[in-house]
A and B are shown apart, each in its own frame.
Chain A
Amino acid sequence: MKYMLLLHEPDTDWTAVGQEELDKALAEHAEFVQYLAARGRPFSGEALRPSCTATTLRPKGDDIIVTDGPFVELKEHIGGFYVIEADTLDEAIEVAKHVPIGSGVEIRPIWDA
């Protein structure tokens, strides 16, 4: 089964943080990627630019309205995601415990193709 791990984090502009903080965050993710690789677990993942760069479309009657900002305005946003393979939710939880955790990690099973 495939699971998406949605990484919720305090909104951060990674272009504005100090080099040290950036290196630390990158190192944490490198460590997680190493953890996955060491176990031969297939995965993919991406980091997202901050929510101030987000654009949201909403239906309005027959129209679609384009608006600035994320779908929900919160203090935390989805900062990135991984897609992993796991046989059960317990396995997915075990993997997710190793994700560098910001505010929380949401585990979502992905529909089988």
Chain B
Amino acid sequence: MSLEAAVAQAHRREWAAVLAATMRLTRDFEAAEDAVQEAFEAAMVAWRRDGVPPNPGGWLTTTAKRKALDRMRRADALARRLPLLVVPDDDPEVIQDHRLRLIFMCCHPALAMNARVALTLRLVCGLPTSEIAHLFLVPQPTMAARLTTAKKKIRSAGIPFHVPDDLTARLPAVLAVVYLVYTAGSADRAVELAHLVASLLPEPEVLGLLALIRLNEARAAARFSSDGKPVPLAAQDRSRWDRSAIAAALPLVRKALRGGGPYALQAAIAAVHAEAPAYADTDWPQILALYDELVTVYPSPTAALGRAVALSEVHGAAAGLAEADRLSAELGHYYLLPAARAEFLRALGRCDEAAEADRLAADLAPTTAEAEFFRARAVDSPTRP
């Protein structure tokens, strides 16, 4: 492994643990963040000279703590007393607990959602501000300001560095952040984060989210054609699905379903799709039953629409259309609603109305690739003889 790769790997795997251990010393995450950053810079030099150490995480933790201590000595007049504060090498359980504290601090509900996501990527994943800015399509100074504001709030409002007593109340906020990281297009980071949370806190919903992301990722290659156009599920080349990744995620789904929460149910729906050898083999009654459950525990536009599609597969396109029309009052501006209506209308032979619905979906679509897809479908679809 090259030096750069070794440092990159250590960054990915160890950042949160090193930061958490350093925070234990500094009691201040900004000082810790700077020290960890310096430790990684030092690693580039030292590892080139001496080779990659057998335990990169340990090396980085020791170095980051030393850097933090140096800073504290420089800053503090009581320099000579500080060595007393040096704690012995952290045992793994303490580090785990501290990483969890870090996550709950970053995902605190008193922070704005976009600040939570940015902070988590910065402090838990160690992503540079420039990369976070790129991910959320904002200029770097904007993202830097967002992070500064959030850190200021943590410090001055007294957002604590601890694991909350009421985990069930606070876990959804953490999972929402992980899911947002995923939908922002950073699948690797989302999987890492979900994996980290699952290893620290193996609650059913955490496993459900991890399974959901893994199942979606296992099928990601078939979701777009070679020229970047979205491919609907029915037309996807299932030989491009990663069958071993799907098989690996299934036990997680089973464990997650014991909790019956929204991520578990979405993962179960993804699993039923993923297990079907062909679109025609899909177990739609099973999917409909899962959606019935999902809209009860987690009413959302996507769930309601997914249920309408399942309804049409089980009871016919007319049933799907009726359900979509019923939803149109609340979901009027959600582009996948006219998109689904177009499919139901086409199946019923109402092609002109279908084309009109496709054009509406194109107008509302968030990306040009999707807009083009619906526009093309509106043109291509057969007109009624």
Contacts and interface: CB of A to CB of B under 8 A. Distances in A.
A67 interface: no
Interface stretch (A46-54, A57-65, A83-91): A83-91
Contacts of B157: 89, 107, 109
Contacts of B160: 87-90
A1 B157 CA distance: 9
Interface string B138-177: 0000000000000000001111101010000000000000
Nearest to B160: A88
Interface of A is mostly: mixed
Interface in B60-113: 108, 110
A109 B152 CA distance: 12
Contacts of A105: none
A11 to B, nearest CB: 27
A88 B110 contact: no
Interface string A86-110: 1111101100000000000001010
Contacts of A87: 158, 160
Nearest to A1: B158
Interface in B115-152: none
Nearest to B104: A90
A110 B159 CA distance: 14
A2 to B, nearest CB: 10
Contact of A109 (B108, B156, B164): B156
Contacts of B162: 88, 90
Interface residues of A, number: 11
A90 B156 contact: no
A87 B158 CA distance: 7
A3 B110 CA distance: 14
A89 B155 CA distance: 10
A87 B157 CA distance: 10
A88 B110 CA distance: 12
A105 B168 CA distance: 23
A93 B110 contact: yes
A85 to B, nearest CB: 11
A86 B162 CA distance: 15
A16 B117 CA distance: 48
A93 B108 CA distance: 12
Contacts of A92: 158
Interface in A1-18: 1, 3
A93 B160 CA distance: 12
Contacts of A107: 157
Contacts of A86: 158
Contacts of B164: 90
Contacts of A1: 158
Contacts of A89: 108, 110, 157-160
A19 B273 CA distance: 63
Nearest to A109: B157
Interface in B311-329: none
Contacts of B159: 88-90
Output the residue of A1, A3, A90, A107 with the most chain B CB within 10 A: A90
A1 to B, nearest CB: 5
Interface string A1-39: 101000000000000000000000000000000000000
A90 B169 CA distance: 12
Nearest to A86: B158
A52 to B, nearest CB: 32
B82 to A, nearest CB: 24
B29 to A, nearest CB: 14
Contacts of B158: 1, 3, 86-89, 92, 109
Nearest to B109: A93
A32 to B, nearest CB: 21
Interface string A65-87: 00000000000000000000011
Contacts of B108: 89
Interface of B: 108, 110, 156-160, 162, 164
22 contacts: A1-B158, A3-B158, A86-B158, A87-B158, A87-B160, A88-B158, A88-B159, A88-B160, A88-B162, A89-B108, A89-B157, A89-B158, A89-B159, A89-B160, A90-B159, A90-B162, A90-B164, A92-B158, A107-B157, A109-B156, A109-B157, A109-B158
Given A88-B162, A92-B158, 5 more contacts: A1-B158, A86-B158, A90-B159, A107-B157, A109-B157
The 10 closest A-B pairs by CB, nearest first: A88-B160, A89-B158, A88-B158, A109-B157, A89-B159, A1-B158, A89-B157, A90-B160, A109-B156, A89-B110
